[in-house]
Structure 1
Amino acid sequence: MATPKRTVLDLTGLFTHAGHVLNTRLAAELAEVGLSVRMQCVLVHALERDRTQIELAELAHLDKTTMVTTVDELERAGYAVRRPSETDRRARIIAVTPAGAEAAAVGQKIVDRVHREVLSALPGPPDDFVAALATLVDGPLAAPVPSAQGVRRARAPRK
């Protein structure tokens, strides 16, 4: 039997590999200042405005259990606290402490540096690539499609 001929480059494989490598690189760099990629993401979104744990989980693409674990880590580090929402007493707002705001600022410098370094390898203007990727993410790749096969996100191995 002949191998089917590819007519389009393996976009799924490229995106999967690139995303995984970028995440591992960010994880290694952020770990040096005591943050995980999840912690950094939650801190930045929580600093933007008051958000509930559920809202932050959606923005950070985290499931409920992972979000609880991440907020627990942020609280242990002194970077965030859970407080009751003023508008919904059933909800909890994740409030960033001054130490958390400082950590997020340091973390964002790391994230920005890593992103700049990665984008500097492109042959053309980095803004063109980022705009094209944003077009995909806002358009045909905006939302997962339900699948009977239950596609899961890749997970980093536990240490």
Structure 2
Amino acid sequence: MTAMAPTRTESDLSFLLDHTSHVLRTRMAAGLGEIGLTARMHCVLVHALEQERTQIQLAELGDMDKTTMVATVDALEKAGYAERRPSSTDRRARIIAVTAAGTEIAERSQEIVDGVHRDALDSLPDDEREVLVRALNRLATEHLAVPAEGPHAARRARERAK
């Protein structure tokens, strides 16, 4: 006798969110790649422009480990978009300062990121777009704001900047 699969009683929210997120990331990577950036490079530039931040603070905002962050900042320095400097408030700390060229490329990369998001949302009717964004914001800040603890923790998702 062949075993029967259990009957699904709810929409597969995990698949829907994973799939759409994956496709958005691939579109983002393609668009940013056209101007020589990665999503991580974009993230570091934008967050470093918001306020003076250390490499550790930027790594936390971008959900990057130390090695990935060092490689990302190295790439930004090599491209002339950022540089490591002493903090203006704590001479022992080093911040990531964005150059004029980095500011320019960050503006272009933000246009690309916004365009990817706009294209996705524009594919929906107006009433659905508003409901989707409101519902996702509510899930992200309420019911699904904090990951569950467990013996085999899933990879932590990128945190949205405050």
What is the TM-score of this pair, normalised by structure 2?
0.87
Per-residue deviation, 1:153: 5.9
Equivalent of 1:64 in 63, 66, 69: 66
1:51 is aligned to: 53
1:112 is aligned to: 114
Instruction: Decide whether aligned partners of structure 1 residues 137 and 86 sit closer, same or farther in structure 2, where only a CA change above 3 A counts.
Output: same
CA displacement 1:93-132 (0-9 Å, x = unmatched): 1110000000000111111111111111223432332222
Distance in 2 (CA, whole Å) between partners of 1:143 and 1:90 is 33
- RMSD over equivalenced CA pairs, Å: 1.7
1:157 is aligned to: none
SS at match of 1:82: strand
Decide which moves more: 126-135 or 91-100. 126-135
User: Which protein shows a greater Rg?
Assistant: 2
Note the 1:1-159 alignment, pairs <5 A.
1-125=3-127, 126-152=129-155
SS at match of 1:18: helix
Per-residue deviation, 1:147: 2.2
SS at match of 2:85: strand
SS at match of 1:142: coil
Per-residue deviation, 1:65: 1.8
Distance in 2 (CA, whole Å) between partners of 1:124 and 1:68 is 42
- The one-letter code of the counterpart of 1:32 is E
Decide which moves more: 85-94 or 64-73. 85-94
CA displacement 1:61-95 (0-9 Å, x = unmatched): 22222111111111111100111123334422111
Percent of paired sites with the same residue: 58
Structure 2: stretches of 5+ with no match in the other structure: 158-162
Structure 1: stretches of 5+ with no match in the other structure: 155-159
2:160 is aligned to: none
